[in-house]
């Protein structure tokens, strides 16, 4: 069946311009909210769906500008022979080059034969669906797609009204999994007089194959419908057509009464069985109504793990579970740019897949802060919680995600950052300065628009804290470390100072003088960051330190350190124009 090779959208809702060549399998659009993901699915549905009566309004025009018509063009490949005939479609057959995404006016030996279906809506709000090509335009030829072809191409939308597909209605997935049909007219008359069950035995014979497929699919996906599916007269139907017949469980309860998640899961499985007749699926917010393990089943039903997928699925999600389940080759970031929208493939490059597995939430954010280690994550989280208590907007509300690159190689933060930067995310790196990254690596990151916040004068975070905070705050740091680690603090100080500085000596200095010497500050910083035994080397420890000790001290401490922290939060709050 046909698959969409190219999508072109102009002046539709929040999208002024978009051109995208999707993959033939799973196409999951991700990115921050209000970036236009649902609009893309609606555009496909409106252009390709078998509908005659959709009501457009001025709000469907980009910027409410009704002078610029809505235009949605879908380039369709993998066409059935009936849609490649010269007699019917000769003037409209075009050539598509997958390597470049270019659609040329005529088919050629090295191009796939395609048709371009266009939906245009002008200021009169009357939609017009036509096939388009350069040759047809030059010759003044206009052709619409026959209704039977529209029905054959129409995608299945798994959404809020998905239970439509649980009856033998026109265009439902049940009419696509089998050629069998049941004549309900006579049975309905008898059922009205006698009982709904009078039709059951006849329908079971007429729809045996379809019912078997439904029963097997439900079993495979863990959807409980009892001993098997039945086709009984729909008690709510007033029609004497095929739509009067719907799926029921073995007790005669309509399957439309299943939960939202079960309904979506079952329809996804049935769509896979019907892929030979219709191969395009749309699902907005795919995780809706599904527990994590059922999200996995749902994606599996759409062919997420198939080497050669039979379905072409267009999905959107804000679920970290879904991102972990999909590969980078199935994920696409939708972004608004100065010249319109663009879609970027996440891909399977170095570090990408591991980043998706470890930090899927970051791919759903607007901006990303790459932290050198867990301590920086905890520091920013603690400061953020304190700022939230003071009435500021949180990092999460600003669409900022924190990513831990795990320390190690000094260039690692930039490798992780590059994965996000190449996809159009705003990226900041927060790093220690005791070990320097490769200058060219850091400079390349900055030249591409990245921001770096590094601690000062060769310091790591612990050096910065003990070197910048007031003596009273340093005393609180030592006390908190003592609560966490006890005698270990004493041994660390002895090791670093060659037995010249003790916990008690530091404590007494602060208590008696209200000061803390530069030398002792440096020693404390080194002791606090001893490798694999750091005093605050966990997200939760540093989060508590930042919220209760560091944040309240920022107005009194060294203002150079405060400026670094302010830089992070000012960057997070910045709204690019």
| 136 and 183 together in one domain | no
Average pLDDT over residues 317-327: 94
Beta pairing, strands 94-97 & 102-104 = antiparallel
Total domain count for the chain?
A: 4
Q: Does residue 327 lie in a domain region?
A: yes
233-276 tens-digit pLDDT: 665 554 444 456 788 888 787 777 777 788 878 877 776 676 55
**Geometric angle at alpha carbon 256, from 250 and 259, rounded to 5°:** 100
By residue range, what is the domain housing residue 312? 286-344
Domain limit, last residue, from 243, 273, 303: 273
Residues 416 and 536 occupy one common structural domain: yes
Residues 305 and 387 in one domain: no
Give 403's pLDDT tier (boundaries 50, 70, 90).
very high
Give yes or no: residues 178 and 308 share one domain. Answer: no
- Which has more pLDDT, 223 or 573? 573
pLDDT, residue 238, reads 43
Least confidently predicted of 180-189, 297-306, 313-322, 329-338? 180-189
DSSP secondary structure string, 332-400?
A: EEEEEETTEEEEEE----TTHHHHHHH-GGGGGSSEEEEESSHHHHHHHHHHHHHHHHTTPPPTTTTTE
Residue ending a domain, choose from 153, 176, 211 = 153
Q: How many C-beta atoms surround the C-beta of residue 188 within 10 A?
A: 22
In the predicted structure, residue 123 carries a pLDDT above the cut 60: yes
Q: In this structure, are 415 and 495 located in the same domain?
A: yes
Instruction: Give Cβ neighbours of residue 283 (< 8 Å, ≥ 6 apart).
Output: 41, 157, 158, 159, 264, 268, 302, 313, 314, 315, 316
Q: Are 406 and 540 found together in one domain?
A: yes
Report the pLDDT averaged over residues 60-87: 94
Whether 188 has a pLDDT exceeding 60, the answer reads: no
**Burial 253-288, CB ≥16 within 10 A → b, else e:** ebbbebeebbbbbbbbbbbbbbbeebbbbbbbbbbb
Whether 355 is covered by a domain: the verdict is: no
Angle at 217 between CA 215 and CA 222, to 5 degrees: 95
Residues 6+ apart with CB under 8 A from 341: 9, 15, 16, 17, 18, 35, 36, 334, 335
C-alpha atoms less than 13 angstroms from C-alpha of 1 in its C-beta half-sphere: 23
pLDDT, greater one: 252 or 512 = 512
Structure tokens, 149 = 């072809």
DSSP string, 96-152: EETTTTEEESS--TTSEEEEEEEEEE-TT--EEEEEE-HHHHHHT--BPPPHHHHHH
Q: Which whole-number Å values give the CA distances from 255 to 168, 266, 569, in the listed order?
A: 13, 10, 51
| Per-residue DSSP letter, 64 | G
Q: Does residue 428 belong to any structural domain of this protein?
A: yes
Mean pLDDT for 179-186 is 64
Under 8 Å between Cβ of 15 and 40: yes
Q: Is the dihedral of CA 314, 316, 322, 325 positive or negative?
A: positive
Mean pLDDT over residues 337-351, rounded?
88
Last residue within a domain, chosen from 273, 296, 314: 273
* pLDDT computed for residue 240 by the predictor: 47
Residues 189 and 41 in one domain: no
Does the pTM surpass 0.75? The reply is: yes
Is there a domain that residue 195 lies in? Answer: yes
Predicted pLDDT of residue 99: 94
More confident residue, 159 or 118: 118
What pLDDT score was predicted for residue 198?
Answer: 60
Residue range 154-169: mean pLDDT, rounded? 71
CB 12 within 8 A of CB 59: no
Question: For the residues 60-81, what does the mean pLDDT come to?
Answer: 95
Question: Which of helix, strand or coil describes residue 430?
Answer: strand
Helix (H) or strand (E) holding 420: helix 412-421
Residue that wins the pLDDT comparison between 242 and 567: 567
d(CA 67, CA 255): 46
Measured distance CA(119)–CA(111) in Å, rounded:
24
**Alpha helices per DSSP H over 147-281:** 147-153, 185-193, 200-206, 208-221, 260-273
């997420």: which residue's tokens? 304
Taking Cα atoms as reference points, which of 349, 359, 354 lies closest to residue 329?
349
Q: Are residues 148 and 167 in the same domain?
A: no
Those residues whose C-beta lies under 8 Å from the C-beta of residue 412, and which sit 6 or more positions away, are 405, 406
Task: Reduce the DSSP state of residue 527 to 3 states and report it.
Answer: helix
Domain shared by 248 and 303, yes or no: no
Phi, psi of 70 (to 5 degrees): -75, 135
Q: Are residues 472 and 568 in the same domain?
A: yes
Instruction: State phi, psi for 21 to the nearest 5 degrees.
Output: -105, 100
**CATH code (residue 128):** 3.40.50
- pLDDT reading at 409 higher than 90: no
- The reply to whether 330 and 253 lie within a common domain is no
Average pLDDT, the chain: 88
Is residue 352 in some structural domain? no
- pLDDT(309) > 80: yes
Residue pLDDT, tens place only, 274-284: 655 668 999 99
Mean pLDDT within 543-547: 98
Neighbours of 438 (CB within 10 A): 12
Task: Tell me the helices (H) and strands (E) count for the chain, helix number first.
Answer: 22, 19
Whether residue 136 has pLDDT greater than 80: yes
> What is the rounded radius of gyration, in angstroms, for the C-alpha atoms of the chain?
31
Both structure tokens of 179:
């050629």
Instruction: Using a pLDDT cut of 90, give the percent of the chain over it.
Output: 60
Q: Is residue 279 part of a domain?
A: no
Helix (H, G, I), strand (E, B) or coil at 540: helix
Mean pLDDT of 389-411: 91
Same domain flag for 551 and 501: yes
- Residue 356 within any structural domain of the chain: no
Closest CA to 27 of 48, 7, 12: 7
Q: Quickly tell me which residue has 């679920």 as its tokens.
A: 319
Is 224 inside any structural domain?
yes
* pLDDT at position 239: 46
Does 187 have pLDDT greater than 60?
Answer: no
What is the share, in percent, of the chain residues with pLDDT greater than 70? 89
Q: Is a pLDDT exceeding 80 seen at residue 407?
A: no
φ/ψ region of 210 (left if φ > 0, alpha if ψ in -120 to 50, else beta) reads: alpha
């Amino acid at each position: 069946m046909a698959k969409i090779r190219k999508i072109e959208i102009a002046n539709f809702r929040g999208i002024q311009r978009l051109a995208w060549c999707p993959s033939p399998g799973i196409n999951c659009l991700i990115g921050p909210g209000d970036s236009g993901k649902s609009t893309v699915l609606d555009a496909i549905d409106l252009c390709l769906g078998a509908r005659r009566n959709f009501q457009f309004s001025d709000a469907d025009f980009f910027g409410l500008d009704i002078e610029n018509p809505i235009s949605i063009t879908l380039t369709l490949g993998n066409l059935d022979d009936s849609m490649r005939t010269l007699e019917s479609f000769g003037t409209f057959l075009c050539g598509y080059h997958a390597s470049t995404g270019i659609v040329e006016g005529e088919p050629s030996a090295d191009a796939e034969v395609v048709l371009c279906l266009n939906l245009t809506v002008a200021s009169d709000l009357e939609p017009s669906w036509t096939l388009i090509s350069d040759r047809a335009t030059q010759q003044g030829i206009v052709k619409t797609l026959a209704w039977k072809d529209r029905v054959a191409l129409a995608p299945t939308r798994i959404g809020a009204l998905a239970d439509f597909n649980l009856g033998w209605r026109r265009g439902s997935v049940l009419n696509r999994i089998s050629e069998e049909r049941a004549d309900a007219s006579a049975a309905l008359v008898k059922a009205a007089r006698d009982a709904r069950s009078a039709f059951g035995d006849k329908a079971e014979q007429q729809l045996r194959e379809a019912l078997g497929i439904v029963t097997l699919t439900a079993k495979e996906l863990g959807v409980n419908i009892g001993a098997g599916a039945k086709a009984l007269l729909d008690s709510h139907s007033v029609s004497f057509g095929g739509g009067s017949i719907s799926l029921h469980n073995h007790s005669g309860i309509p399957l439309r009464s299943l939960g939202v998640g079960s309904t979506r899961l079952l329809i996804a499985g049935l769509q896979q069985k019907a892929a030979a007749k219709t191969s395009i699926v749309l699902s907005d917010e795919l995780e809706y109504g599904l527990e994590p393990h059922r999200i996995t089943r749902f994606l599996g039903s759409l062919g997420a793990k198939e080497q050669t997928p039979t379905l072409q699925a267009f999905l959107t999600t804000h679920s970290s579970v879904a991102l972990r389940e999909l590969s980078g080759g199935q994920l696409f970031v939708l972004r608004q740019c100065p010249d319109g929208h663009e879609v970027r493939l996440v891909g399977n490059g170095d570090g990408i897949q591991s980043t998706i597995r470890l930090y899927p939430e970051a791919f759903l954010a607007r901006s990303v802060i790459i932290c050198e280690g867990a301590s920086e994550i905890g520091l920013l989280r603690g400061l953020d919680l304190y700022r939230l208590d003071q009435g500021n907007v949180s990092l999460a509300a600003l669409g900022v995600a924190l990513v831990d690159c795990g320390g190690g190689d000094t260039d690692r933060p930039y490798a992780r950052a590059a994965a996000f930067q190449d996809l159009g995310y705003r990226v900041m790196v927060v790093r220690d300065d005791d070990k320097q990254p490769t200058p060219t690596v850091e400079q390349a990151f900055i030249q591409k628009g990245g921001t770096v916040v590094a601690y000062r004068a060769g310091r790591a975070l612990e050096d910065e804290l003990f070197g910048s905070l007031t003596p009273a705050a340093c005393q609180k740091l030592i006390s908190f470390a003592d609560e966490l680690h006890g005698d270990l603090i004493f041994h660390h100080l002895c090791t670093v100072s060659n037995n010249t500085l003790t916990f008690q000596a530091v404590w007494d200095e602060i208590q008696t003088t209200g000061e803390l010497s530069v030398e002792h500050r440096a020693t404390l910083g080194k002791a606090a960051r001893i490798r694999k035994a750091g005093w605050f080397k966990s997200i939760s420890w540093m989060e508590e330190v930042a919220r209760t000790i560091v944040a309240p001290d920022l107005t009194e401490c060294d203002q150079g350190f405060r400026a670094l922290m302010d830089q992070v939060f000012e960057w997070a709050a910045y709204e690019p124009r």
